[in-house]
Amino acid sequence: MTARIFRPAANAMQSGRGKSKNWILEFEAEEPRRIEPLMGYTSSGDMRQQVRLSFETLDAAEAYARREGLAYMVQKPHDRSPKRVAYPDNFRHDRKQPWTH
């Protein structure tokens, strides 16, 4: 069973960084999901797929995986790169894109 350790991305719909500082250990699916024939629900017999463990640091997540004997892979976090723009730049005469109001 393989575990994946990653840091979730910030929500694209909000400017805050909530729930994106902790590292998550999540188990990969061992069997594919299937559609339950009677009700049409999607189900799986793999219970570990529902487990998500949260850690404050990458080292703590790796230590847990080693202690439990789990094979794991670490995904590097994608940190955002803020663009430095000033409000007066909207009104510059040498803009690269014309103002289309």
Question: pLDDT tens, 23-68?
Answer: 999 998 888 888 988 898 988 888 888 889 999 999 999 999 999 9
Q: Is it the case that residue 99 has pLDDT exceeding 70?
A: no
As a whole-number percent, the residues of the chain with pLDDT over 90 amount to: 38
The two beta strands, 23-27 and 52-55, are antiparallel
Tokens 């799986």: give the residue: 44
Question: Model confidence at 15, in pLDDT bands (50, 70, 90)?
Answer: confident
Within the chain, what is the greatest distance between any pair of CA atoms? 66
Question: Model confidence at 100, in pLDDT bands (50, 70, 90)?
Answer: low
Mean pLDDT score of the chain, rounded to an integer? 85
The domain spans of the chain are 23-28+38-77
